[in-house]
Amino acid sequence: MNNLFEYVPGNSFIHRLNPITKLLLTVVICVAAFVTDRLPVLLGLLAVNLLFGLIAGVAGRTWNILRGLLKIAVFLFLLQALLYRGGNPVFWIITDQGLLTAGKVVLRLVVVCMPLTLALAVTRISDLTNALTQVLHVPYPYAFTLAATIRFIPQFVEEMNGIMEAQTARGIPFDTARGLKKFSMIVPLCAPLLISSVRKTDQTAAAAEVRGFRLRTRDSAYKRYPFSAGDFAVFACCAAILAGAILL
């Protein structure tokens, strides 16, 4: 999780795409996953995600995302399969419709979670912020807020790990506890995490202010973000994905 949002340098076709195109592809995949109710389409969207990761040269990151989602996917699958009441019984209280619904829920979860993480792995946060302000005319403070949120996630994870390590050294058994017991021990530690986060946010805000944060406009960035032929090809793919999800 700590490096799940870190930029992976590269020069792949996906790396060279306009950040807005990558963002659009992400949105389209997510929308398509919610529009469709068919298992083959969801499988197709999963294949698109995997292809995205392979072309971008971040197969390792793609695998890590899938591995990270495994536990919650298994939990959701079992929950859906056990609670769904329609269809013909297959085993105990599990029905064929229950299995199908559980499969779709899990696939939808995986399909929705993957593209943004993959897009962030192949897009510099600064490029994303600049492209949002230049191309989509998003006010810079909003674009900066989005970028800061993404940038802070791994820092918060690192901070939480540091807090847990320090508490373990004080005798709190984080190194032995599992599951709910561990979770109950984490809850009181949210206070120091919250306080350090607010402090960090304040410091970042002050640093941004002294660097002329309020003077920045959409023309301030030196780098330009024009759309290339590759971007238009991806637009066509996006249209095809959306049409496929609606019509199939």
Partner 1 sequence: MITLEHVSFSYANGQPSVKDVSFHLPKGEFAAILGPNGAGKTTTVRLVDGLLQPAEGRVMIDGSDLRESRVSDRARKVGFLFQNPDRQICKNTVREEILFGLRTVRPDLSEEALQARAEETLADFSFTGKEEPFSLSRGQRQRVALASILAVEPEVLILDEPTTGLDYRECCHIMDRIRKMNEEKQVTILMVCHDMEVVLDYARQALVMADGRLLACGPIRDIFRDTALMEQASVLPPQMIGLGLRLGGTFLEADTPDAMADALIASLRKGGTEK
Minimum distance of partner 1 from residue 55's CB (angstroms): 25
Q: Which is nearer to partner 1, 76 or 186 (CB)?
A: 186
Minimum distance of partner 1 from residue 183's CB (angstroms): 16
Gap between the Cα atoms of 66 and 92, Å rounded: 29
Gap between the Cα atoms of 239 and 245, Å rounded: 10
Q: Which is nearer to partner 1, 169 or 205 (CB)?
A: 169
Q: Which is nearer to partner 1, 139 or 162 (CB)?
A: 162
Q: Which is nearer to partner 1, 90 or 166 (CB)?
A: 166
Residues that bind partner 1 (CB under 8 A): 159, 162-163, 165-176, 188-189, 191-192, 195-196, 199
Gap between the Cα atoms of 31 and 194, Å rounded: 33
Gap between the Cα atoms of 133 and 135, Å rounded: 6
Minimum distance of partner 1 from residue 186's CB (angstroms): 11
Minimum distance of partner 1 from residue 232's CB (angstroms): 38
The count of other CB atoms within 10 Å of the CB of residue 91 is 9
Contact 248, 44 (CB under 8 A): no
- What are the angstrom distances between the C-alpha of 26 and each of 107, 114, 180, 189? 16, 9, 34, 34
Minimum distance of partner 1 from residue 199's CB (angstroms): 8
| Chain CA centroid to CA 33, Å | 15
Residue 208: exposure state from Cβ atoms within 10 A (0-12, 13-18, ≥19)? middle
Q: Which is nearer to partner 1, 206 or 248 (CB)?
A: 206
| Chain CA centroid to CA 39, Å | 22
